[in-house]
Amino acid sequence: MKFTKEEIHKSMLLYAVTDRMWLNEGETLISVAEEVLKNGATFLQIREKDLNEDDFEAEAEALHALCAKYRVPFVVNDSVEIALRCNADGVHVGQSDIKGRDIRALIGPDAILGISAGTVQEAETAEAAGADYIGVGAVFTTGTKKDARSLTMEQLRAIRNAVSIPIVAIGGINSGNIMLLAGSGVDGVAVVSAIFAAPHPGEATAGMLKLAEEMLSAKTVRGEGNE
């Protein structure tokens, strides 16, 4: 499924990243992902660090079909090869993946390319590499990446001002701290445990969606007041 630049921009609002470690007995990643999509997730990334390649690909194919049902962009974390084989909407990679490798050429001009960045230089490098959006973080201390350092509001704004493509904040974001991102210039939030570790992921998604909308609205109001 092809998404326009405008659709990609809007889809940054509530970007869900899967984490199977939080699945309860009787649940599957697919069943939980459907609840998340039903309740307003605007983007979905499959991130699997421990699955073997065959199982990873099978789940990616199933999630891609599910996202197509809800017309939500779906990308694969890190693996360009799996993204291509399951015909995902795109891929999300890190800075090390774009060194000496033209990811944009591999996936084609219409696929979505997301690239992680934690500094202005990395953000500029990502945009030059053909990224459609940048995952910026970690914005708060996060349990999913033990060595990640949190960014200041000034650093977030500097990254926002350095690039013209959408940026989505990631790293330790939850219902208790999301409003701290108001005024930072981000176009949305990417969340993992705030949704997938919740007792009821669907309800958590609906709550985070509302808060993400409020955060962006607060950003707009604050920006107008500072002009």
Estimate the share of the chain in helix, then strand, then coil, as percent rounded to the nearest 5: 45, 15, 40
Q: Is 47 a catalytic residue?
A: yes
3-class secondary-structure state, position 45: strand
Is 145 in the active site?
yes
DSSP letter for each residue of 109-169: SSSEEEEEESSHHHHHHHHHTT-SEEEEE-SS--SS-TTPPPPPHHHHHHHHHH-SS-EEE
- In the set 10, 47, 157, 219, the catalytic residue is 47
Which two tokens mark 174? 């939850």
Residue 17: beta bridge partners? 45
Which residue shows structure tokens 């990395």? 122
Query: Which of 10, 20, 145, 157 is flagged as catalytic?
Result: 145
Of 11, 116, 184, 193, which residue is the catalytic one?
A: 116
* Residues belonging to the active site: 47, 116, 145
